[in-house]
Amino acid sequence: MCQSSMAKSILILAVLTISLVANVSFAATISSSSQKNPLLSADDLVFFNKDDRAEIVNREKYMAQMRKIPIATQEQHYNNETESKDDMIKSSTRKPCTEYNVFKMKRAEKFVDWDVIMSGVVLAPPNKTAVISISESYRISNKISVPAGIKGNIIENFLTKGLKISFDNVWITTKNTGFTFTIPPGKYGAVVSNPLTTRHSGYLDSGCIGSSERTEFSSDSYSSKNFEGLSWVEGVIGLCVGKTFPLPRCIGEGFLRG
């Protein structure tokens, strides 16, 4: 997490769904069918437990639990594309042989990724608060980093069939869903998501025994979750607030522009 961004911005987390802390005992349950969701303050957190029921908890206590799951590093967040290599094996320099495709997987990683914007950036009036909620048409999808060509197809097929990762999955925001947030007077604010991300990565060794070529790959995938009628991914939804525009990320580096 970037310390300078944290100094400039205030994170007001609002919707937390990570199962690690789903059984906290200091929560007060909200019945979404019997009462309207309240406007949230900086001291409130709302998460969805294993029964998909909304609960308000103390922010400080809940965030202490969240320290058990790391924030994405720069390398994890940017996930640089693997350079594409020629898929053709030069038969003129090799004798005929039986070719193999062998996968070597690294340890799977779980982390909370940087802020993903889910609304425009709003400036509250100098002497009045502003209310903001999730906007429509913001999206997130499972991602894969592979070279183009035959090897890329082999890797994608392996991840799809072997690990059940669908790269066709897309989650899109809609209006009038979830909770609403209050931006302090004179501040900029935006609704953001911090997805709980699972990374699978490794190498494909392809070719003849003793003369294979190695290709590195990685994929980021998410689990579906329903937030008060919004189909989104598991993780964190909240309000990022700051003094300047573009708005510095509250978790991670860089800026939010809406």
Q: Where are the domains of the chain?
A: 3-256
- In angstroms, the CA 233 to CA 146 distance is 23
Residue 246 preceded by cis peptide, ω within 30 = yes
pLDDT band at 74 (very low <50, low <70, confident <90, very high): confident
pLDDT band at 83 (very low <50, low <70, confident <90, very high): very low
pLDDT: is 68 or 230 the higher one?
230
Residue 186: is its pLDDT beyond 90?
yes
- In angstroms, the CA 148 to CA 36 distance is 50
Do the beta carbons of residue 251 and residue 196 sit within 8 Å? no
Tokens matching residue 192: 């953001």
Nearest to 170 by CA among 109, 231, 118, 114: 231
Alpha-carbon distances, residue 133 vs 62, 130, 164, 208 (angstroms): 22, 10, 33, 56
pLDDT: is 23 or 7 the higher one?
7
Residue 167: is its pLDDT beyond 60?
yes
